[in-house]
């Protein structure tokens, strides 16, 4: 959350500079398959997928809960607060579409965590049956 906040605190010019340099490095490796705007949306999705994964893990290992909505709700609220924060940063904007992308990232991160738990539980169960 701190990393997301720090990225959101960058002015529009600073954010553009960072993403342009990253975009330049990616073009060197993958060619020009995606636009700069698409790369920025992928970054939004990815950072919130990581947040969803981590919050799902924290909730599971702290409270023993595997409920999808428990980590989803605070992460989406954080995505909303992130966009509101950007409204007050020079040259940045508050976009509902970014909240949607962030929410999809959160759902994906939580889904990956739940899939991870499912696979681990199956492996443990199979090992217990054999052993």
20-64 pLDDT, tens digit per residue, is: 676 667 666 666 667 767 878 888 899 999 999 999 999 999 998
For the chain, the domain total comes to 1
Which structural domain, as residue segments, surrounds residue 44? 2-130
Residues contacting residue 113 through CB under 8 Å, at least 6 positions apart: 52, 53, 56, 57, 60
Give this prediction's pTM. 0.80
Tokens, residue 36 = 């700069």
Q: Helix, strand, or coil here: 28?
A: helix
């Amino acid at each position: 959350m701190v990393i997301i906040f720090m990225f959101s605190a960058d002015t529009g010019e600073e954010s553009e500079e960072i993403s342009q340099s990253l975009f330049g490095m990616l073009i060197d490796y993958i060619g020009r398959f995606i636009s700069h705007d698409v790369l920025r949306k992928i970054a939004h999705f990815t950072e919130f997928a990581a947040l969803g994964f981590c919050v799902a893990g924290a909730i599971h290992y702290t409270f023993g809960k595997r409920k999808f909505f428990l980590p989803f709700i605070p992460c989406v609220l954080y995505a909303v607060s992130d966009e509101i924060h950007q409204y007050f940063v020079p040259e940045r904007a508050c976009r509902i579409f970014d909240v949607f992308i962030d929410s999809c990232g959160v759902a994906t991160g939580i889904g990956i965590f739940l899939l991870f738990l499912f696979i681990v539980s199956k492996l443990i169960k199979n090992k217990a049956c054999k052993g």
